[in-house]
């Protein structure tokens, strides 16, 4: 920079640099299979916490078990549970904006964002897929909401997988179907906000593959494979759920405890032998932080919250627990609180003129004052 200023050419020189700032936020994610019950008690023991939460993502399953729910959409239950969520937040509810809710039969996903962040929430998209009866019906499946938050992309998925205790292969297939079929449209004519760039024609190499329909999918075993996805939406194209800075996946996954009887499972739980019990878990990624709920059948970690970030250091789990005080369902709600790093990209345009003068043009989302001062000092 200094050399250019001291020895300018007769041509105007433009130097451009993108600066990445990281902002820390806290996200509350919760999942609850309500077993078709109405709201009969407060959700405060589940949703209230001591952390200052920037985003709430709340997923419900089995909101409506009636036959009519498959034929005609009735927003009454969605409205009732949304109201219950806001009431559970108490005085804090006025600080939040519901950016979107998405329902598929009995599955409902609600995303609330602090109003102070509202100007930085953009490109809100949603999708849902049914994977139940005939591989299509919405008694099982997933709903998802994706949006740009400052200069990061967040995606929340709420799902309900096959319930048969012996249906491991069916659950795995449900998961893969949700991964492949949930997509988010991108209207290229409006400019695409890339994960590591700016609105316009710059798209990073790996995102180009995703836009072209070759996004990487993460399998049950944790292996990444490249599977074609030829979905097109209108004149635009689509992004799969894994092309985000942060993905949080919640729901009633229905993975069970294999090869042990109900008395054996309960005995191990009473003896606090969860690490040993996890060796019999059908799901590959069991951890001793997942709490079980007491059921009318063999206890299992059916209700879970999973997460994946582009950079592991940008996601920290602060708390993970089930909430045993809420008794309206045979499931118990589960919550996870994350500390996420969110990108704020600052574009500095420095224009150096032939007479040793320069102009500074800055495009920002929240550029720190000290950064501007530092640049000015370096340029002098």
Percent of the chain with pLDDT over 90: 42
Checking if the pLDDT of 16 tops 90, the result is: no
Cα angle: 149, vertex 154, 160; to 5 degrees? 145
Give the torsion sign (CA, 79, 82, 88, 93).
Answer: negative
Q: What is the pLDDT of residues 162-194, one digit of tens each?
A: 988 778 889 988 988 898 889 888 765 544 444
- Contacts of residue 130, defined as CB under 8 A and 6 or more positions apart, other chains included, come to 104, 105, 136, 137, 138, 139, 140, 141
Cα angle: 145, vertex 23, 126; to 5 degrees? 5
DSSP 3-state assignment of 151? coil
Structural domains of the chain sorted by starting position, each given as residue range(s) with its CATH number in brackets: 2-17+346-379 (no CATH), 22-344 (3.60.10.10)
Report the C-alpha gap between 142 and 250 in whole angstroms: 10
- Contacts of residue 21, defined as CB under 8 A and 6 or more positions apart, other chains included, come to 343, 344, 345, 346, 366, 367, 368
Choose the weakest-confidence range: 55-69, 153-167, 208-222, 237-251: 208-222
pLDDT of residue 358: 39
Paired residues of 300 in beta bridges: 293
Percent of the chain with pLDDT over 70: 68
Q: Is the pLDDT higher at 236 or at 330? A: 330
pLDDT of residue 339: 98
Residue in 99, 179, 127, 150 with CA at minimum distance from that of residue 314: 150
Count other C-beta atoms under 10 Å from residue 328's C-beta.
Answer: 15
Residue entry with tokens 């890339």: 194
**Phi, psi (rounded to 5 degrees) for 243:** -90, 70
**Phi, psi (rounded to 5 degrees) for 240:** -80, 170
Choose the weakest-confidence range: 78-92, 226-240, 330-344: 226-240
Checking if the pLDDT of 85 tops 70, the result is: yes
Q: What is the pLDDT of residues 127-153, one digit of tens each?
A: 999 987 766 677 899 999 999 999 899
Q: How many CA atoms lie within 13 A of 261 on its CB side?
A: 3
> E strands within 277-333?
303-309, 315-322
Residue 86 Rama label (left phi>0; alpha psi -120 to 50; beta): alpha
- Contacts of residue 280, defined as CB under 8 A and 6 or more positions apart, other chains included, come to 257, 258, 259, 260
Q: What is the pLDDT of residues 99-113, one digit of tens each?
A: 999 999 999 999 999
- Contacts of residue 320, defined as CB under 8 A and 6 or more positions apart, other chains included, come to 289, 290, 291, 305, 334, 335, 336, 337
Residue 259 Rama label (left phi>0; alpha psi -120 to 50; beta): left
Report the C-alpha gap between 216 and 206 in whole angstroms: 9
């Amino acid at each position: 920079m200094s050399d250019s200023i001291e020895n300018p050419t007769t041509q105007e020189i433009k130097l451009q640099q993108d600066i990445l700032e990281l902002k820390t936020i806290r996200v509350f994610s919760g999942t609850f299979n309500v077993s078709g019950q109405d709201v009969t008690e407060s959700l405060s023991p589940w949703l209230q916490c001591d952390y200052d939460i920037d985003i709430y993502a709340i997923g419900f399953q089995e909101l409506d078990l009636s036959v009519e729910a498959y034929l005609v959409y009735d927003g009454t239950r969605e409205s009732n549970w949304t109201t219950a969520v806001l009431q559970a937040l108490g005085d804090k509810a006025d600080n939040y904006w519901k950016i979107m809710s998405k329902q598929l039969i009995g599955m409902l996903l609600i995303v609330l964002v602090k109003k102070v962040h509202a100007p930085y929430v953009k490109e809100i998209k949603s999708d849902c897929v049914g994977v139940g009866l005939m591989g299509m019906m919405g008694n099982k499946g997933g709903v998802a909401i994706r949006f740009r938050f400052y200069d990061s992309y967040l995606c929340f998925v709420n799902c309900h997988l096959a319930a048969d205790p012996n249906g491991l292969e069916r659950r795995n297939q449900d998961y893969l179907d949700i991964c492949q079929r949930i997509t988010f449209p991108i209207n290229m004519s409006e400019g695409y906000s890339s994960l590591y760039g700016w609105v316009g024609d710059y798209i990073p190499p790996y995102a180009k593959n995703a836009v072209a329909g070759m996004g990487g999918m993460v399998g049950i075993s944790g292996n990444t494979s490249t599977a074609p996805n030829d979905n097109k939406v209108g004149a635009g194209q689509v992004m799969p759920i894994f092309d985000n800075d942060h993905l949080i996946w919640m729901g009633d996954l229905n993975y069970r405890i294999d090869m042990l009887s109900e008395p054996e499972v309960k005995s191990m739980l009473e003896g606090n032998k969860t690490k040993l019990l996890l060796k019999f878990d059908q799901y590959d990624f069991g951890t001793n932080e997942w709490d079980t709920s007491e059921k009318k059948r063999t206890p299992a970690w059916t209700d879970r919250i999973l997460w994946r970030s582009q950079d592991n250091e940008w996601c920290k789990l602060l708390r993970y627990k089930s909430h045993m005080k809420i008794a309206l369902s045979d499931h118990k709600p589960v919550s996870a609180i994350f500390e996420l790093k969110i990108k704020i990209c600052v574009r500095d345009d420095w224009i150096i003129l032939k007479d040793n003068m320069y102009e500074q043009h800055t495009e920002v989302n929240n550029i720190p004052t000290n950064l501007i001062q530092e640049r000015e000092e370096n340029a002098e």
